[in-house]
Amino acid sequence: MCAALLALLATLFVSAPAASAAPAASAARADVVPAATLTEVTGFGANPSGLQMYVYVPESLTADPAVLVAVHYCTGSGPAMHSGTEYASLADRYGFVVIYPSVTRASKCFDVSSPQALTRGGGSDPVGIKSMVDWAVAAYGADTSRIYATGISSGAMMTNVLLGVYPDVFSAGAAFAGVPFGCFATSDGSEWNSACAGGTIDRTPQEWGDLVRAAYPGYSGPRPRMQLWHGTEDDVLRYPNFAEEIEQWTNVLGLGQTPAVTDSPRAGWTRTRYGGTGDQAPVEAVSLQGIGHNLYSYGVMGPLAITYFGLDADGPAPQPPAGPCKVGVTVNAWNTGLTASLTITNTGTTTVNGWQLGFTLPAGQTLTNGWNATYGPSSGAVTAVNASSNGTIAPNASVGIGYQATHTGNGAAPGAFTLNGSACTLG
């Protein structure tokens, strides 16, 4: 891969300050992995391409927890994916385990192009990631019917690959700015496929589906669901790849090319669902008008992926004790709508630098607007992320935010709030 491309990708994915990882833990015993701390695990099993494994386990881990594999972009790393996405805080809320694979080869890109990577048990990155999943299942008694993958750019391509080569392992995936399984295939050892990146590879749905089926010959079991995201102005992995991904996964799942429903959950978004109309449709595809390759929006898209996986379906995991924060809320409701004004107070002794306020909207409420924060998704479990002007809250200081919503009869306020994963008192 050329140096110019790597430099471009490095500038595209600037995230929060890198998280510090705990010292490496032996895979022999799960209890040496500290809770609520990003930890490197070594000796986790077969790992032919020398990947590193980082794991995040929340303090309030549910019984038989789900496992989410969060795969980084080119030039990235497991710790960078941890600090630049909200999956750890979502794990705190819902009690699942997060695995962050990390590439050690010079490009820091995952292998999504070699014949080994595109074949089940072929001896490249997917094998190591499968070993990480197996380790988590054994260490934490994880539910093997709730294993999920998500990724950005190179990680999105690997998400497509993982669901193709291990359909019996993963239940669903969410790919942010990726390409279809097999699109990046090369036979000369190159990591880069210019034709695919440029969006010039056009196959029929059957041809795309056959590539997936050939990765695990003879497999006749259920196939994972897929959520796809792409910006119309993507100049790294061009937008035509989005349509090819849709064709591939609808074919793999035995669906037609006509959406069951089309809507626009946010301005500039077009969402199509295939094979169903609900939040866990077999294939869900979100097109972002005017957005480039750097499409991932912290605090907005991660929660929507979690909803697609169904990890929030049973409600939040037990919350931690009330932290040094207080939230006051005032709601003004009318027949079909409401506004809510929230006051977040730092009742601790240290300054909060960057915050995320988590809460769950009552059933039937849908956000239509908000101020002084970025909100997402529009219903269910919502995360409000600070604006650039109010990200710091000194001890005993407060920040005011608010939102507007529609409702179908229940105009109540949310019943609980968390600030950066810690439960707040109400007042």
Q: Degrees (nearest 5) of the Cα angle 103, 231, 112? A: 30
Closest among 51, 69, 185, 74 to 123, alpha carbons compared: 51
Instruction: Indicate if 190 belongs to the active site.
Output: no
The DSSP string of 335-357 is: SSEEEEEEEEEE-SSS-EES-EE
3-state secondary structure of 322: strand
The reply to whether omega before 23 is within 30° of 0 (cis) is no
What span, in angstroms and rounded, lies between the C-alpha atoms of 66 and 137? 9
Closest among 57, 116, 118 to 88, alpha carbons compared: 57
What span, in angstroms and rounded, lies between the C-alpha atoms of 239 and 160? 16
Strands (E), 177-246: 225-231
Closest among 289, 288, 258, 262 to 275, alpha carbons compared: 258
Q: Which residues contact 426 (CB under 8 A, 6 or more apart)?
A: 326, 327, 328, 329, 416, 417
Q: Degrees (nearest 5) of the Cα angle 405, 407, 409? A: 150
Q: Per the residue annotation, which of 102, 153, 171, 287 is the catalytic one?
A: 153
Q: Which residues contact 392 (CB under 8 A, 6 or more apart)?
A: 351, 352, 353, 354
Q: Which positions are annotated as active-site residues?
A: 153
